[in-house]
Amino acid sequence: MKSVKDTFKIYNGVEIPCMGLGTWQSPDETAKNAVLAALSHDYRLIDTAAAYGNEKGVGEGIKASGLKREEVFVTSKLRNADHGYKATMEAFSLTMEKLGLEYLDLYLIHWPNPIQYRTHWEEATAGTWKAFEELYEKGKIKAIGISNFLPHHIETLMKTAKIKPMVNQLKLCPGVTQDETVDYCKKQGIVVEAYSPFGTGMIFGNEDMKKLSAKYGKTVGQLCLRWCLEKDFVSLPKSANPMRIRENAEIFDFELSKEDVDFISNLKGVCGEAPDPDNIMF
């Protein structure tokens, strides 16, 4: 990988950029400006979600960039309240209306077991995935996937699925490695994406990472993103600061030693823990 434009290949042949812009907690106008900044610095992957409430701003940013539609890889996610076949179809239509796009590059089920469906999540997930498969087969979505799914959720999904998930987006950051799920996905040929690669900012106060920052002459954020790259994760750093957006992309002129990759992986507790999708309260 030599730039943010370089890609991992999904098993269906679609190529996904190795790094993208996360937009969680960015309202519409902030998201629009962040997307414009990212695209001007060669980012080609933009990640949003219905639950973020900023799909309109993200779509406006993509349009204002002047780039051709096929030059930008756009991801969104299904809101927790909209599981099931009919609700998924309606939610997808609303997402596309807000984004102002004719097709989506990647659509994800945001959570496998939201509280609204806790007593019958298996049935709801099966209905949702049926809708995903139909939208994929019609060319409305280039790739379909999941987020926060553990192996047992994927195994349940595959009992009724015709198409295996192509991507799984997980919380992955220093000390939060979700090894069992990552290994499972890689064995299944599922691309792994890392959200919250900075541990929602918790990593910036860590003294060990500051020492590594001095060693490499790189920021703590850049070390986290290089770590993701070394682990073969697509990373999704969130920022609304144009300077930081540019800085985050400057990770292709150095490598971490294997010892330092392992050291970062083992910083347990510094970025909290991985969420338990079977006990989330939303």
Catalytic residue set: 52
Please answer whether residues 210 and 204 qualify as being in contact, where contact means their C-beta atoms are separated by less than 8 angstroms: no
Q: What is the dihedral of CA 87, 147, 278, 116, to 10 degrees?
A: -20
Amino acid at 88: T
* CA gap 177, 172 in Å, rounded: 5
Residue from 126, 208, 135 nearest 174 by CA: 208
Neighbours of 252 (CB within 10 A): 16
Neighbours of 176 (CB within 10 A): 23
Burial of 210 (0-12, 13-18, 19+ CB in 10 A): middle
- Which residues sit opposite 234 in a β-bridge? 193
